[in-house]
Amino acid sequence: MARAHAKTNHSNKHSQQKPAPPAPVVNSTAPIAHTPNTAPSAHTAATTDVTSVSAAPAVRHGPTNEQIAARAYELFLSRGGAHGHHDEDWLQAERDLKLGR
């Protein structure tokens, strides 16, 4: 009876599938190196996290459009509210804000 039991266990070993290995951890900040003339595998392309690349805020140099608009409106009012000079007011407002006025 022990032999029959052992035989049964032995035959069950081959019918059982091994669990899949855990998925590799992809470090989204490290560069991905590929061998020249070799396309990345579908697994690599599917697990690469590209959201962190676009998540960085844009660096702004100079005044915002809202700041320029507010200064241009001040210039408009300082001329007595006369229409027809919005382009000049906008450019002057940009210059003023860049110079810290």
pLDDT in tens, 6-31: 555 555 555 567 777 777 665 556 55
Task: Please give the model's pTM, rounded to 2 decimal places.
Answer: 0.41
Tell me: the pLDDT tens digits for 85-95? 999 999 999 99
Query: How far apart, in whole angstroms, are the C-alpha atoms of residue 79 and residue 67?
Result: 19
Q: Write down the pLDDT at residue 20.
A: 75
Task: Return all residues near 15 (Cβ < 8 A) that are at least 6 apart.
Answer: none
